[in-house]
A and B are shown apart, each in its own frame.
Chain A
Amino acid sequence: MNSKNMMYILKRILLALLTVWVVITITFFVMHAVPGGPFLGEKAMSEATVKALEAKYGMDKPLMTQYFTYLKDIVTRFDFGPSIKQRGRMVIDVIADGMKTSVKLGLIAAFLALITGVVLGAVAALRRNRIIDKVIMVITTAFVSMPSFIMGVLLLIAFVIRLKWLPGNGATSGGLVLPIITLSLYPMAYITRLTRSSMLDVLGQDYIRTARAKGVSKWKIIFGHAMKNSLIPVITYFGPMIAYIVTGSIVVEQIFAVPGIGRFFVSSIINRDYPMIMGTTIILAILIVVMNMVSDILYKVVDPRIKFD
């Protein structure tokens, strides 16, 4: 890797850090500007209790002081502080617990979408306008247009309630099968269509015709020449796909009671659990920024025609 590439990557990392800082700052101040607070409930606490709790969580200090203390803890120790609502637990532990499942769910779903999407897309392209192509196109159109919360509920009714083949609880063995399928269908369908069109495009290129004319075997053309080039658009889709899977999992985890991180995005805001709101937002921001960066760099690796600048 030459120095130009190194410079590019360094620039991207700095930009990513800046993005995360902006996210932290905006979230911190918006969160405190929203009415309500973590110590409000249907049954009110006494003023003395609220005061004692505010002192405990450092919320009695001026907002700017709180902000700089928070930044300092994040930068120097990566310390998100304790959760206010889940007493006795640290935000980082809660997130790590949820991430274990969410990452497993997300990675398998992404992998499944990628493999089946590319295979189906290639099959459709190679069998263009035949019956198999048409079947694949109809199915993928359906999956692309169906939101995950509908798909999830349909699968739940079919496989959990009617057929009783699979458990409806994400915490049990086999319980991740349905959420993985639900989560992967949309990106799978999208990748299928991407692969099909780019494969068709590539197959019409001069260098493929040249290869054919030289007598290269059909499979070598497909896997050696066409496949690699037709994957470029798929790689650009990688970043958005991860974002989709992360946000999509919020709904899917709810439907299948998956013990992931998704629910905390919403519950922490409802509860005004300030450290938890910050923690989940920062982790999500880092995830998306990093994935987009990786996607951009991979893009360059696969297609040397693309220049870093």
Chain B
Amino acid sequence: MKKLLAVLLTLAMVVTLFAACGDKKPAATASEINVCIASEPDTIDPALNSAVDGATLIAHLFSGLAKWAQDDKGALVIVPDAAEELTEGVKNDDGTVTYTYKLRDGLTWSDGQPLTAQDFVFSWNRSCSLELGADYGYMLEIVDGYADTQDESKPDAKLNVKAIDEKTLEVTLTTDVPYWNELLAFPSYFPVREDVVANESWATDPATYVCNGAYKMASWAHNSVITLEKNENYYDADKVTMDKINFYLSDDANNMLANFKNGDWKLIDDVPTNEIATLKAEYPDEFKVVGQIGTYYVCWNINEDILPAGADVEDPEAAREEIRNAITLLFDRNYIVDEIAQGGQVPASSFVAMGMTDADGKTEFYKNAGSSGAFDGYYDVAANAVKANFDKAVEVLKKYYDYDEATGKFTNFPSLTYLYNTSEGHKAIGEYLQSALDNIGISMKLENQEWNTFLNTRKQGDYSIARNGWLADYNDPISFLDMWTSISGNNDVQFGKGANKDLKHYSLDLTPYGYDVKVENGTWAETYDVLISTIKTCTDTDKRFQMMHLAEDMLMATGCLCPLYYYTDLFMISKDVKGFFSNPLGYKYFMYTTVEA
């Protein structure tokens, strides 16, 4: 009896202990939604943020001059937000363009103070200041005066943006760009208030988080949940249907799935890779695959010599280009997408990703890429073209390497090393590439490095072939092209660096576009860098896009970029949620959602 009593007592104690843990759970009613897009954001300061999950939160909390929205037909559009309208720019004599915006009447911050044009002036200068050191400071590159702000010797340099009066903002751009309105909807251009951000930790505590968007921050339990509540001070508050959003913070895809399956979370922005096939079958209406502007690719180090020892070729770089391009043809991208990645990705035949539009703003840029009329892009990725591609590649390689007809293998291809960052998915793709090359006698070792080490190695050009990927920040092909100039920090291929720096091998002829530029056998800096800076100052849309095609042609001709697939954004959303949308950058919008109870 006593024994039983002791056991019961212990049990009672344990139960009491359990009851003591945890807080009250916010129940998801129709005017409240629980979602999980990622773990604790590094920052939700609009200027400092560079992550997609942070941007989603910021898009709910702040209102820039413009915003992403869905029109009546469900199409994504950029519409005025804090600005009354998105005006046309006025060209100045020096080629710069000036835009003047009127702010809406009665705009206020979440604490009730009035919002003025001066707040925008302050915020934009802050976003790109060296002192702040934001990852995305370069998003303001297009604004006149930006270059000076990046010069340490000019500490007082400011952007060419002025508050004409409390409600009028005037900004001058170095040149007109078609994606300007989209930039205005980007977090780096959102307003923050000077006295608020003077406190360096303002964005980590709801008490000091003053914003101007559709929502305000009600609470932030670090690493567990951020709760947003409708901001009644927002000018368009009447149209906001969702009163409260609980952003749960988790980075474990299995945990997210468990919470989605038991109905607690209505949207999860990640799923376990090995469950994708099952989920697609089990949840056909809830498993979503949407396009994302990005390319998964393999990059070569241009300074890696892949010619056989003692090879006697007239133009070694031309030979290497031909070899690299041949190797690009060896891979079956449909297999990679269908059997390995499995997330609805699209086989890639160009570096500039699917989702980028051409000059008309409608046609896909990649469909006009390359010179073939038979397929889109630079090579045919159709399943039935695999054999022909393979044969073509082998024919090219035979010109340079010894080929054993009996075994169908090359015997003197130098061995390669494929560098990737530690991850099951990247490894699986690496193994596929390895086996495809092994088929024709090319041996490639796989080497994985932990993420940060990998970034460092790749950036330093200390590799022969590496995994790579790029996601655009705005819908304009230049965001895929300007990263390859010889001075760019993202130039992992090392174009115009190391041995390639002085190599006079590239040509550029811009006379057809009305520029007095014609270079034959110039360096990368003399050609590609010039082309990119010309594109950046070109104001004729058609010519600008033609030159961007030219830039991609130059890149692809080097064979240093081997695109594998265009990225997709995978997420799961409950059938009960209506009115949800996401944009091509992956931001998710919940303000106009309703949940059917």
A residues in contact (CB < 8 Å) with B: 34-37, 40-53, 56, 85-90, 94, 97-98, 104-105, 108, 111-112, 115-116, 119, 123, 153, 156-157, 160-161, 164, 167-177, 180, 219, 254-257, 259-260, 263, 270-272
Inter-chain contact A88/B130, CB cutoff 8 Å: no
Could you give, for residues 175-208 of chain B, a 1 whenever the CB lies within 8 Å of some chain A CB and a 0 otherwise? 0000000000000000000000000111110000
Residues of B within 8 A of A98 (CB): 222-223
Q: Would you give 11 A-B contacts (Cβ < 8 Å), ordered by A? A: A35-B452, A45-B135, A49-B133, A88-B45, A88-B201, A160-B258, A168-B259, A173-B24, A176-B18, A257-B250, A270-B450
- Give, as a whole number of angstroms, the nearest-CB distance from A172 to chain B: 4
Interface residues on B, range: 35 or more
Instruction: Tell me whether B512 is interfacial, beta carbon within 8 Å.
Output: no
Inter-chain contact A168/B255, CB cutoff 8 Å: yes
Give complex CA distance A57, B431 in Å: 41
Residues of B within 8 A of A47 (CB): 489
Could you give, for residues 410-435 of chain B, a 1 whenever the CB lies within 8 Å of some chain A CB and a 0 otherwise? 00000000000000000000000000
Residues of B within 8 A of A116 (CB): 10, 14
A-B contact count (CB 8 A): 186
With CB as the reference atom, state the residue of chain A lying closest to B141.
Answer: A46
Which 5 residue pairs are nearest across A and B when measured between Cβ atoms?
A44-B489, A171-B224, A36-B452, A259-B223, A173-B22
Residues of A within 8 A of B314 (CB): none
Residues of B within 8 A of A85 (CB): 42
Kindly list 13 other residue pairs between chains A and B, CB separation below 8 angstroms, not including A46-B137, A115-B14, A257-B255.
Answer: A36-B453, A37-B456, A40-B456, A40-B459, A46-B138, A46-B489, A53-B133, A87-B45, A88-B201, A97-B222, A160-B259, A169-B255, A255-B252
Instruction: Tell me whether B79 is interfacial, beta carbon within 8 Å.
Output: no
Inter-chain contact A49/B130, CB cutoff 8 Å: yes
Contact of B18 among A34, A89, A177 (CB under 8 A): A177
Residues of A within 8 A of B456 (CB): 35-37, 40
Give complex CA distance A53, B223 in Å: 26
Inter-chain contact B252/A254, CB cutoff 8 Å: yes
Contact of A86 among B42, B249, B470, B471 (CB under 8 A): B42
Inter-chain contact A171/B221, CB cutoff 8 Å: yes
- Give, as a whole number of angstroms, the nearest-CB distance from B200 to chain A: 5
With A88-B201, A119-B10, A271-B452 as known contacts, state yes or no: A171 contacts B45, CB within 8 Å.
no
Residues of B within 8 A of A50 (CB): 133
Inter-chain contact A42/B455, CB cutoff 8 Å: yes
With A48-B130, A52-B133 as known contacts, state yes or no: A174 contacts B452, CB within 8 Å.
no
Inter-chain contact B261/A34, CB cutoff 8 Å: no
With CB as the reference atom, state the residue of chain A lying closest to B129.
Answer: A52
Give complex CA distance A263, B222 in Å: 12
Could you give, for residues 9-27 of chain B, a 1 whenever the CB lies within 8 Å of some chain A CB and a 0 otherwise? 0100110011001111100
Residues of B within 8 A of A263 (CB): 39, 223, 251
Inter-chain contact B248/A257, CB cutoff 8 Å: yes
Residues of B within 8 A of A257 (CB): 224, 248-250, 252, 255-256, 259
With A44-B488, A88-B200 as known contacts, state yes or no: A172 contacts B455, CB within 8 Å.
no
